[in-house]
Amino acid sequence: MKLTTILLLFTCLAASATGFSQITLSEKNVSLSNVLKQIQRQSGYDVLYNYELTQQVGAVTVNVKNVSLKEALAACLNGKGLDYKIVGKTIVVSKSDKIPDVAPAVKPVSKEPAPPPRIDVVGTVKDSAGSPLAGATVALRGTNIATKTDANGNYSLAVPDEGGTLEISYTGYNTVTIPVSKSGVIDAVLSLADTRAEEIVITAYGEKKMREAVTGSVTTVNPDNLRIPSSNLTTSLAGQVAGIIAYQPGGQPGYDNAQFFIRGVTTFGYSSSPLIIIDNLESSTNDLARLQVNDIESFSILKDAGATALYGSRGANGVVLVMTKRGKIGTPVVSGQFDNSMSQPTKNLQLADPITFMKMYNEASVTRDPYAGERYTADKIYFTQQTIDKAPGYNPYVYPVNDWADLLFKKYTNNQRANINIRGGSNLAKYFVSGSYNVDNGILKVDPVNNFNNNVKLKSYQLRSNIDMNLTKSTVLSVLLGGIFDQYNGPITSDPSGASDLWNVVMHTDPIAFPAYFLPDQANIYTKHILFGNTNGGLSVNPYANLMRGYSQFYRSTINAQLNIAQDLRMLLPGLKFSGMISTTRFSNYSINRTYNPFYYAVQNYDAVKDQYSLLWLNNVTDGSKPTEYLDFSRSPNIVTSQVYMQGVLSYDKTFAIDHNISAKVIGARQERVLSTSANGAFDGSLQGTLPYRNLNYSGSVTYTYAKRYITDFSFGYNGSERFSEEKRFGFFPTVGAAWVLSREKFWQESFLADVINSFKLRGSYGFAGNDNISGNRFFYLSNVDLTGGNGASFGVTNGYTRPGVAISNYPNPLVSWERSNQLSLGAELTILKDLKTVIEVYKQKRDNIYQTRLPIASMGLETGIGANLGKAESRGLDLSLDYSTMVAKDIMIAGRANLTATQSKYIFNEEPDYPGEPWRRKTGALINQRYGYIAERLFVDDQEVANSPSQFAGTMGGDIKYRDVNGDGQITTADMVPIGDPTTPQVTYGFGLSSRIKQFDIAFFFQGNAKTSLFINPGAVSPFMGGGAPASTTLLLEAFADDHWSESDRNLYALYPRFGTSSNQITNNLQTSTWWMRNGSFLRLKSVEAGYSLPGNLLQRLRIKSCRLYASGMNLFTISGFKLWDVEQGGNGFAYPIQKVLNIGAQISIN
C-alpha cells in the first residue's frame, strides 16, 4: 500500500511540475495575437495585450519545442519592441522601453494621435449572498483588455480613459455590464443564472448530456446534499432523491448499510437491488458506502428503461451512477475536511426495574398454572431491594442486581473523519488525488482488567488517484487507481451477521440470577483470571463474560486499477469518437478470532449472620470447554474475488444545418469474475465453483434532435449470460423515448406563459430490460447430482454392507431464460418563476419470467423442485421533486427542496395452489413484501370464551389473542391467514429541507420520512420470560409491557401485551404473526441539520488560504412516530444494535 501511495504521488507531482513549463510553437507568418493565444492555452496563464500594438508588429514566425514559458515569450517578442511582465497567473504584454537591437525601418514622419490616458479600475466581484467570486472574468467590451479576480474577488484593470463598458462574467452566473466610471471603483454582484436548459446530466457510461436532450428518467443529486456526519454514504440517500425507497435497519459500524431500491421493490424474484456504477465500473454496496462525498463529481439515479438500456441485463432494477472528481487546469488546490463527532442511540429501550421483573415473573408463573409456584421468594425480592437501596449490610454478590445494558454499553462514543485532496493540472495533464481516514467506534465498554480492546471499531482508509493526460491534441489517456481498506475490531459474537449478538444476550439474561463477576475469596486470592458469575445447576450465558472473552477482527480491501483511452476521430469523420477501457478489481477479506473460555463461579455456603461465603468453581472440566487463561487463535480462509472488465464505445455526434443533431453510440463490454468461494457458497468444492463468471453486453443508441425542441431516442441492449442454455443465452431489450421542449416553441415564448413557466419539457420512454440474476443456481440447464450425498442403503445377511445414495439438488431446465421488465415512464420538467424547478414523473412496470419453483407433482417422486420462468409482478408509482432558490435581500439567500416517491408493487401471478373457496390465501393480487397473518379481534375474556370459540392453538387461555375464523370452519389454521397491513418495505419515502445563507453564516436542515409501511413486532424475540434452556436465560421485560398487560386483576381486552407466560409452549397462540403485533411503521425524522461560518476574504488573505468554513452538524436528532418501544426504522426486533444519533463539529479548508 505504501508503494502504491508513493507511485501515485510521484505521478501526480511529475504531471504538475512539467505541465506549466513546456511550450511548443510552430507558426510561420501569423499574427502575434494568434501566437499569444496559443501560449495562453498551453500555459494556463491569462495574456493581456493591446490588439493595435500587436498589429503594428506585423507577421511573426516562431518555432520552439518544449521550452519554458519565459523562453517562448522571448522567442516571440525579442526584436519587436515589446516586453512582458508576469503578475501571478497573468502575463501583461506592453511596449518596451528598451532600444531594439535592430534599428527600425525609417518611416515617413506623420502625426499620430496620442493614446488616450489610462485609468486604473478596481473593485470586488461577489455573488448574491455576498461571498467573493474568485476567478471571475472582468473585460473591457470590444477589446482584449481583461483580467480575473483573485481569491478574495478583487481585481485591478487598466483601461483607456475614454468611457467604455466592463463585462463581468462567471460560470453559472448571469453576466453583468457596467459603464466605466471616472471614480475608478466598480463593484459587481452576480446572480445565479437559470441554467436548467443548459444543465449537464451524467447518463449511462458517464456520457454528458444537456438535460433538455434526455428522454429517460435521470435524477441528478448535488453531492453536497449527501453530506451528513456519517462514514456511510448509503445512510444519506433516503428522502434525498425522488425515486429511491430506503431505510436503515441497524447502526453498528461495519454493518450499518441502508437498504435501498429504485422505485421500490419491483420484483419478488431473487434480486431487486439496483446496479451500482462508480467511474463506469460495477461496484458493491460497501464500495458506495465507503465513498467520500468530497470525491464525488456527479451522482445520478437512472430509473427507467430509457435511462438504463445501455447497461442491458445489469440495469433492470435501476442504476446508481457515480463519477468521481477529475483534475482541472490551474494551480494546485489542496482541500481538507476534518470532523469529530459524538454518537449515541436514537432511542434506548426502557426496561422494567429488577423488582418489577421478579414480581411479573412470579405472576407469569402462576397465571398459567396456579400450582407452579413462584420463582422468586419474598426474601429474594426483599434482599434484592436492599441491594438496590444499598442498605446497611447488603451484599451485591449474594443478592446481585445487574443492569446489563449499563454494564456493557456506554452512553455515547466519539468518531473521527478526515479527507484531504489535491486538484490541478495543465493542458498536458490534469490530476485529482485524495486520501481519507475514518474511525467509527462502538458503544461497548472496555474493562481495564483485559489487556485488549474489544469495543467495536471500524477504521477505513480510502485512496484515489485520477489522472488524465493529453498524449496528442486528439488523444487522452486516463489512469484511475483506487483502494478501500477496512479494519474491523469487535467482540466475539455467535450469530452469523456479528451485528446483534451482545444486544440479544443482554436482553435475554436474568438481571438478578448472578453477579457479573466476583471479587476473589480466600481460595482464589492468587488467581490470574476473572471470576465470572453464573448459575449452579447448569451454565447460562453471562453477558459480561461474553463481552470480555475475546475479540474478533476482519480485514477487507478493494483495489481497483483502470486504464482509459479516448480518441477523437474527426480526422476520419467529424463528430466521431472512440473510447476504450480495461480495468481490474480485486476484493479480499479474512478474519481472525482471539478468545478464551471464561472461568465461572457461584456462591456456596453463605452465612447470612457473618455475611461470608465461598465460591464454587462451576466449569471444572477437562473437555473442549475447559476454561483457559490465554487467548486462543483462529483464522478464516482468505476470500478473494478478482474481476476484469473491458469496454469499448464508438460514438458520433454531429449537428447539420443548424437545427438537426444526430448522436449515436455502439458499446461492447465483457466482464469476468473469479471467486475463491462461489457467489452464495452453494458450489464450493465443486467444478461449478471454480469456473469464472462471465457476461457479455452489446448495446447502442441513436438520438435525433430538431431545433432543441423535439428529441427522439432509440436504445437497445443485446446481452449474453452464461447461466442460460445456448438457445436462451442472449436477450434483446429495446427502448424508445421522446421529449418535447414546449418552452422553446414560438407560441410559448410569445405568450404570458413564458413569464410564469420559464421552461417546460415533456418526455416519455417505453422499453424492456432483462435480468439474469434470478436464482442462486449457477447453470439452469445443468443438473446438480451428488453421487454420495443421498440416503444410504444397507444389505447383506447382517446388513453389514452400506452404500451411499444419490442426491439431486437441481434438475436441468434448458428453457429458463431472462427475467424481463416492461417499463413505461412519463415525465414533465418545469421551471416556475425562474426559481422553482419541478419534476413530476409517473411510471408503470410489468415483470414477467420471474424464476420460481414449480408446485411438486407427487406421482413423479422428485427429490427437489423444478425451476421455471413463472412469476409475474406489476408496479406503478409517482416521483416528485421540487427545488427552489432565491435572494430575498442583498445578503440573504434562501433555498428549499423536497422529494417524494410513492410506489406500489403487487403479484400478478405466483406459483401456488388454487385454494378453491379461499382466495385470500393466494398471493396473486396481493402486495409484494406484504405479511400474511391472522386477524386479531381482541383478547379472550376468560377460559369459557375460549371453549366456546373456534379452536385455536394449544394452551390458549383467557387473556390470549382471539383470532378471526376467516373461512368459518370452526378452527384457526393457516387457512385463516390473510394479507395484513402494508408491506414491510416503505411504499412512500419523502424528504424536505431548507437552507439559508446570510453573509458569512449559513444554516440548513433536512427532514426525511417513510410512510405506507407496517412494522411487525417479533413476539418470539420480545415476549418476556421466554427461556433458552439455561437457568438464567430469559427475555427481559419491557417497561411498556409491565405497565399494560392482561392480568387477572386487570382484564383489559385491548392491553398492549396479552397474558404472560414463562415458556413458548404456554404462549404459542400469542406468538403467531397477526394484526395484534402490527404497527404503523411511518415516521418523520430530522435527518440532518448544519450551521456554518465562512471566514471573510480579508482574513483569508492574511492567513494565505483560499477558503475556510467552520460548522456544527447533527444527524437523526429526533423522530416523530406513533411507535414508542424502540427506533421505528429498525423494524420488528428492537433488541439489536441501535441506529445512532450524531452531533458533529468540523472544518473545511482549501489552500492554493
Question: How is the beta sheet containing 281-283 ordered, strand by strand?
Answer: 218-221, 296-302, 319-324, 275-278, 281-283
Each residue's pLDDT tens digit, 451-477:
788 888 999 999 999 999 999 989 999
Residue whose C-alpha cell reads 451485528 in the numeric block = 499
Each residue's pLDDT tens digit, 289-308:
889 999 999 999 999 888 88
What pLDDT, on a 0 to 100 scale, did the predictor assign at position 1010? 95
Four-CA torsion 122, 128, 134, 139, nearest 10 degrees: -50
Distance, in Å, from the CA atom of 448 to the CA atom of 444, rounded to the nearest integer, reads 13
Q: Is the pLDDT of residue 105 over 60?
A: no
The grid cell for 464 is: 484515489
Distance, in Å, from the CA atom of 695 to the CA atom of 669, rounded to the nearest integer, reads 8
Most confident listed range (214-228, 361-375, 861-875) = 361-375
62 versus 1084: which is more confidently predicted? 1084
The grid cell for 524 is: 482464589
What pLDDT, on a 0 to 100 scale, did the predictor assign at position 172? 64
Distance, in Å, from the CA atom of 549 to the CA atom of 631, rounded to the nearest integer, reads 8
Contacts 24+ apart (CB under 8 A), 917-921: 917/967, 918/967, 918/975, 920/966, 920/978, 920/979, 921/974, 921/975, 921/977, 921/978
Each residue's pLDDT tens digit, 1031-1051:
788 999 999 999 999 999 999
What pLDDT, on a 0 to 100 scale, did the predictor assign at position 967? 94
Confidence of residue 494 (pLDDT cuts 50, 70, 90): low
Q: Is the pLDDT of residue 100 over 60?
A: no
Distance, in Å, from the CA atom of 314 to the CA atom of 299, rounded to the nearest integer, reads 18
What is the residue extent of each domain of the chain? 18-99
Longest pairwise C-alpha distance within the chain: 135
Contact between residue 692 and residue 642 where contact means Cβ atoms under 8 Å apart: no
Contact between residue 695 and residue 720 where contact means Cβ atoms under 8 Å apart: yes
Distance, in Å, from the CA atom of 168 to the CA atom of 979, rounded to the nearest integer, reads 65
Q: What is the mean pLDDT of residues 157-164?
A: 79
Q: Is the pLDDT of residue 973 over 90?
A: yes
Each residue's pLDDT tens digit, 927-971:
999 999 999 999 999 999 999 999 999 999 999 999 999 999 999
Distance, in Å, from the CA atom of 437 to the CA atom of 1063, rounded to the nearest integer, reads 49
Q: How many residues does the chain have?
A: 1152
Each residue's pLDDT tens digit, 638-695:
888 899 999 999 999 998 888 899 999 999 999 998 887 644 455 555 667 678 888 8
Distance, in Å, from the CA atom of 498 to the CA atom of 456, rounded to the nearest integer, reads 11
Angstrom CA distances, 317 to 715, 728, 860, 908, stand at 17, 21, 37, 18
Q: Is the pLDDT of residue 1141 over 60?
A: yes
Dihedrals φ, ψ of 508, to 5°? Answer: -130, 30
Residue whose C-alpha cell reads 443492569 in the numeric block = 403
Q: Is the pLDDT of residue 130 over 60?
A: yes
Burial class (CB in 10 A: 0-12, 13-18, 19+), 1135: buried
Q: What is the mean pLDDT of residues 212-221?
A: 87
What pLDDT, on a 0 to 100 scale, did the predictor assign at position 686? 64
Give the angle 1003-1005-1007 at the CA atoms, nearest 5°.
175
Q: Is the pLDDT of residue 124 over 80?
A: yes
Hey, is 898 helix, strand or coil?
strand
What pLDDT, on a 0 to 100 scale, did the predictor assign at position 102? 43
Average pLDDT, the chain: 86
Q: What is the mean pLDDT of residues 879-897?
A: 90
End-to-end CA distance of the chain: 28
Q: Is the pLDDT of residue 341 over 60?
A: yes
H or E segment at 381?
Answer: helix 378-389
Each residue's pLDDT tens digit, 743-791:
989 899 888 888 899 999 999 999 999 888 888 888 999 888 877 777 7
Each residue's pLDDT tens digit, 1054-1081:
999 999 999 999 999 999 999 999 999 9
Distance, in Å, from the CA atom of 1036 to the CA atom of 352, rounded to the nearest integer, reads 8
Contact between residue 1033 and residue 1115 where contact means Cβ atoms under 8 Å apart: no
H or E segment at 694?
Answer: strand 693-706
Most confident listed range (113-127, 165-179, 806-820) = 806-820
Q: What is the mean pLDDT of residues 54-80?
A: 79
Q: Is the pLDDT of residue 373 over 70?
A: yes
239 versus 672: which is more confidently predicted? 672
What pLDDT, on a 0 to 100 scale, did the predictor assign at position 112? 47
702 versus 158: which is more confidently predicted? 702
- The whole-model pTM stands at 0.79
Contact between residue 884 and residue 895 where contact means Cβ atoms under 8 Å apart: yes
Angstrom CA distances, 391 to 603, 1024, 1150, stand at 20, 29, 61
Four-CA torsion 829, 831, 832, 834, nearest 10 degrees: 180
Q: What is the mean pLDDT of residues 39-45?
A: 79
1099 versus 66: which is more confidently predicted? 1099
Q: What is the mean pLDDT of residues 270-294?
A: 89
DSSP label at 1050?
B
Which ranges constitute the DSSP H helices of 633-720? 687-690
Q: Residue 470's Cα: distance from chain center in Å?
A: 33
H or E segment at 881?
Answer: strand 867-889
Query: Which of 157-171, 217-231, 327-341, 760-774 is least confident?
Result: 157-171
Enter the CATH code of domain 18-99.
3.55.50.30
State percent of the chain over pLDDT 90. 51
